[in-house]
Amino acid sequence: MTAGWLAQRLDLPLYTLDLASVMSSFLGKTGANVRSVLNHAQERPCVLLLDEFDSIAKRRDDDTDVGELKRLVTVILQTIDDWSPTSLLVAATNHGELLDPAVWRRFDVTLPFEMPALEQRAALLHSREVAAPLAEAVAAVTEGQPLSALSRAVDVARKQALLEERGFEEALITWAASSAPQSTRAARTTSKGRRDLDIYLHHCRGLSAREIAELVGTSHMTVVRVLKRLKGEVDAGA
């Protein structure tokens, strides 16, 4: 999202390379592929985003990596050293501790971002036209998720709604429930939100309020109240 803002402000095209996908699809040819993309991006002014940067720019003393991954770091360092001044190179990672120290030194600016707060997660979902009650419920159980993951989840849920003939709300809630934090502290803070999502998910699958109450372990009236809050006027009959 930051790279997109920079590209817009600079009036330059934005190119994005998801390095995790490249690694999984082209292991064995990754070095040549990455070099080709980097060279292409330098042919004309642009903003190039290298997403999931830790997928290839890991520390060279990491004994768990195969030889090609270590060689990739050298490829990246050489390319950054020769980077065109007419283009902007942006790298994004959620695991900065994995990056080779020499990679850090090649970038002129380092911008740390805190994980988004509850209000920021809800605002992002609102901006993606997720109804307010549902957006707030999803935001409540996605602590530790970056905004980019939430935005992608909305896109995926909409595609699933079209391709699989299922409700958008059901698809989004299924993702949110599976992404809920697993730590004890986080689980305590999100237990109510997770319960509410479970209630709504069962409702999307056609269960009655009484059936949902029995499955979730709460009262029938609580189920009715949650459904009214999340969806507005719903048929929550027994």
Every domain of the chain and the residues it spans: 2-106, 118-231
Q: Is the pLDDT of residue 234 over 60?
A: no
Q: CATH topology for 2-106?
A: Rossmann fold (3.40.50)
Give the per-residue pLDDT at 194: 74
Extract the tokens encoding 55: 């997928």
pLDDT in tens, 155-192: 988 998 888 877 888 888 888 877 665 543 444 445 67
Helix/strand/coil for 90: strand
Q: Is the pTM of this model over 0.75?
A: no
Give the per-residue pLDDT at 88: 92
Determine how many CB atoms are found less than 10 A away from the CB of residue 234. Answer: 15
pLDDT in tens, 71-103: 777 777 888 888 888 999 998 888 888 887 888
**Cα dihedral 210/214/217/222 (nearest 10):** 0
pLDDT in tens, 187-206: 444 567 778 878 887 887 78
